[in-house]
Amino acid sequence: MKLLKTVVYSNIWVSLAVAAYLMASYKFLNLDFDWWLVAFVFFATLFTYNFQRIVKFKTNFPIKTERSIWLQENLKLLKVLCGVGAIACLCLLFHLSFEAMVTMGLLGVISVLYATPFLKNKDSLRDIPRIKIYLIAFTWAVTALIPILNLNISIPYTDWLLMILEKMLYILAITIPFDIRDMHSDQKTKKTIPQTIGEMPAIFLAIAFLLAHTLLAWQIYGDHIMLPLLIANILTGTAIYFSRSDRHELYFTGLMDAAPIWTFLCLLFML
C-alpha cells in the first residue's frame, strides 16, 4: 500500500497515464512509436504536476485529506521528482522537431501558470471560474497530437480541429469525476460542472462526452479502432458512473487516472 501511494500521489502514475494517452494516439494514427517523444512527455508531466503540487502547498494548503497529508509529509520527494523531470526534459528536448518543441513549450507555460498565482488578485489560471477543466482538456488533447507535428505530417486544418475536439471530449469525460471529488473542497467561485449542475447530472454529462468522443473517433480513424475503443470506453464509462464525492481518494487518482492506460492497452493488443 505504501508503494502504491508513492506511485499514485507522487504523480508518477498520472505521468504514465499521459504517456499512455500519447501512445494511444500513435495507435490511432497508425504510426511507429517515437520513444524519445514518449519519454519527454512522461518527464514533462512529472515536472509540471509535481510543480503544481508544490506551488499549491505554498500558496493555499488544501483541506486535510489522505492525499494532502501524504503530500505534506513527502514534499522533499516531490521536489526531487520535479527536478528529475526538468533535467530529463532538457536532455530530451533536442530530439523533438522545432514545431513540437515550440508547442510543448507553450503547453508548459500554460501548465506552470495553471498553478502559479500571477493575476492581480493573486489567482492562477485554475482559479478563473469555469475554465479549469477546459484548460486540462485542451493541454492533454494537443499533447496527444504532438506526433503529427514532430513528424511534420501535413493534414487539413479541419482534421486538426476534429481530432482536438475528439480528444478534448475524452479528457472532459475522465476529468469531471475529479471535479466531483473536489466539489465540496473547491471554492464555490470556481463554478465547476458538479458545483453548477450537481453530482449525478455531472456524471451523466461525462458519460455523454465519452459517447460523443467514441462516435467522433470512429468517424475520424475508421472502423478498425471501434472494438478496442468500445471495450476501453465501456470500462471507462463504468468507472465514471460509480464516481461519487465520498469515494476513497485512490478511486480517482488510482483508477480514473488509469483510463488512458487501459485504452492504450486495448488498442495495443487488439489492433
CA dihedral in degrees (106, 24, 168, 103; nearest 10)?
Answer: 10
Question: 154-204, pLDDT tens digit by residue?
Answer: 889 899 999 999 999 999 999 999 999 988 777 777 788 999 999 999 999
Q: List the grid coordinates of 156.
A: 487539413
State which CATH number among 1.10.600, 2.60.120, 1.10.10, 1.10.3470 fits the domain covering 2-270: 1.10.600
Write down the domain spans for the chain. 2-270
Q: How far apart are the first and last CA of the chain?
A: 34
Question: 213-235, pLDDT tens digit by residue?
Answer: 999 999 999 999 999 999 999 99
The pLDDT of residue 258 is above 90:
yes
d(CA 105, CA 124): 18
Lowest mean pLDDT among 183-197, 203-217, 251-265: 183-197
247 torsion bin: left (phi>0), alpha (psi -120 to 50), beta (else): beta
Minimal CA–CA distance to 186: which of 201, 174, 173, 176? 176
Question: What is the predicted pLDDT for the residue at 122?
Answer: 63
Question: What is the predicted pLDDT for the residue at 21?
Answer: 96
Question: 78-113, pLDDT tens digit by residue?
Answer: 999 999 999 999 999 999 999 999 999 999 998 888
* Residue 58 pLDDT class (50, 70, 90 cuts): low
The pLDDT of residue 131 is above 90:
no
